[in-house]
A and B are shown apart, each in its own frame.
Chain A
Amino acid sequence: MLASRAFSLIGKRAISTSICLRGHAGVAKVEDYALPGYIDRRDIPLPQLEYIKNLSAEQKALKEKEKASWSALSIDEKVGLYRIKFNETFAEMNRGSNEWKTVIGGTLFFFGVTALIVIWQRLYVYGPVPHTFSEEWVAMQTKRMLDMRVNPIEGFSAKWDYDKNEWKK
Chain B
Amino acid sequence: MAHPLQLGFQDAMSPIMEELLHFHDHTLMIVFMISAMVLYIIMLMMTTKLTYTNTMNAQEVEMIWTILPAIVLITIALPSLRVLYLMDEINNPHLTIKAIGHQWYWTYEYTDYDNLEFDSYMIPTQDLPNGYFRLLEVDHRMMMPMESPIRMLISAEDVLHSWAVPSLGVKTDAVPGRLNQTTFIVTRPGVFYGQCSEICGANHSFMPIVVESLPLQHFENWSTMSS
A interface list, Cβ under 8 A from B: 42-44, 130-132, 137, 140-141, 143-145, 148-156, 158
Contact of B132 among A144, A154, A155 (CB under 8 A): A144
Please give, as numbers and ranges, the residues of chain A lying within 8 Å of B133 by CB-CB distance. 132, 141
Our pick among A43, A143, A151 for the contact of B53 (Cβ within 8 Å) is A43
Chain B residue at minimal CB-CB distance from A94: B49
Least CB distance from A64 to B in Å reads 35
Chain B 206-226 interface mask (CB, 8 Å, partner A; 1/0) = 000000000000000000000
Do the beta carbons of A42 and B1 come within 8 Å of each other? no
Judge whether A151 and B190 touch: CB under 8 Å. Answer: no
A-B contact pairs, 8 of them (CB 8 A): A132-B134, A144-B131, A148-B191, A150-B1, A151-B3, A153-B11, A155-B10, A156-B6
Tell which of A137, A140, A143, A150 touches B3, judged by Cβ atoms closer than 8 Å. Answer: A150
Q: Judge whether B128 is part of the interface by a CB distance below 8 angstroms.
A: yes
Residues of A within 8 A of B125 (CB): 130-132
Query: Does B47 interact with chain A (Cβ within 8 Å)?
Result: no
Min CB–CB distance A149 → chain B (angstroms) = 6
Separation of A131 and B51 alpha carbons in the complex (Å): 63
Taking a contact as CB atoms under 8 Å apart, the answer to whether B11 and A154 are in contact is yes
Contact of A140 among B10, B12, B131, B191 (CB under 8 A): B131
Could you tell me if B1 and A145 are in contact, using CB atoms closer than 8 angstroms? yes
State whether A151 and B191 are in contact (beta carbons under 8 Å apart), knowing that A140-B130, A141-B133, A143-B131 are contacts in the complex.
no
Choose among B6, B132, B167 the residue that contacts A141 (Cβ–Cβ < 8 A).
B132
Main DSSP-derived SS at the A contact region:
loop
Residue of B nearest to A45 (CB): B51
6 extra interchain contacts, Cβ-Cβ under 8 A, other than A43-B52, A145-B1, A156-B6? Answer: A43-B51, A131-B125, A144-B131, A150-B1, A151-B11, A155-B11
Q: Which 3 A-B pairs have the closest CB atoms?
A: A140-B131, A43-B51, A156-B3
**Interface SS of B by simple majority:** loop
B residues less than 8 Å from A143 (CB atoms): 131
Residues from chain B with a CB closer than 8 A to the CB of A155 are: 3, 6, 10-11
Does A137 contact B130, Cβ atoms closer than 8 Å?
yes
By a CB distance below 8 angstroms, the chain A residues around B191 are 148
Q: For residue B51, which residue of chain A has the nearest CB?
A: A43
Cα A143 to Cα B131 in complex, Å, equals 8
Q: Which residues of B have CB within 8 Å of A130? A: 125, 134
Closest Cβ neighbor of B126 among chain A residues: A131
Chain B, Cβ-Cβ closest to A153: B11
Contacts of A156 in B (CB 8 A): 3, 6
A150 CA / B131 CA spacing, docked (Å): 14
B10: nearest chain-A partner, CB-CB: A151
Known contacts A42-B51, A155-B6: does B190 contact A132 (CB below 8 Å)? Answer: no
Tell me the complex Cα distance, A150–B6, Å. 12
Expressed in whole angstroms, the Cα–Cα distance for A155 and B11 within the complex equals 7
Q: Which residues of B contact A153 (CB under 8 A)?
A: 11-12
Cβ of A140: which chain B residues have Cβ within 8 Å of it? 130-131
What is the CA–CA distance of A99 and B100 in the complex, to the nearest angstrom? 61
- Please name the residue on chain B nearest to A133 by beta carbon: B134
Q: Mark B69-98, 1 if CB is under 8 A from A, else 0.
A: 000000000000000000000000000000
Complex Cα spacing A95 to B73, Å: 44
* CB neighbors of A among B129-145 (8 A): 130-134
